[in-house]
Amino acid sequence: MVQYLNPNLDRSFAALSDATRRGIIHQLGQADASISSLAERFKMTLTGMKKHVQILEQAGFVITEKIGRVRTCRLGKRDLKAEAEWIEGYRRLFEARFDALDGIINEIKQEDDDGREN
């Protein structure tokens, strides 16, 4: 059983794991766009782009609005604070472990140097 279940983080990281979806977010950071213009820009089918946008929308990164026959996409108001905090926690953990490893390596080097001097 998964002990670290966090559906919001799961949706975020799943959405951000795909290069096309990261590209869509980047593009929408420049200007709002229709799904059809995004599909054209990324050289994919309209159906494929709709699927990508839907995943981004479920994660809260994109908001779509239908105006007439055109569905326009824009960035959502959701930030990446929770994701950044999660990453920061593991960055600190790895940093502490690497620091401890550096300490062990330095001790071994010192012991080797002391052994050569005798």
3-state secondary structure of 71: strand
pLDDT digits (tens, 9 = 90+) for 36-82: 999 999 999 999 999 999 999 999 999 999 989 999 999 998 888 98
Could you tell me the two tokens for 88?
């920061």
Q: How deeply is 61 buried, as exposed, middle or buried, from its count of CB atoms within 10 A (0-12, 13-18, 19+)?
A: buried
Tell me the whole-structure pTM to 2 decimals.
0.76
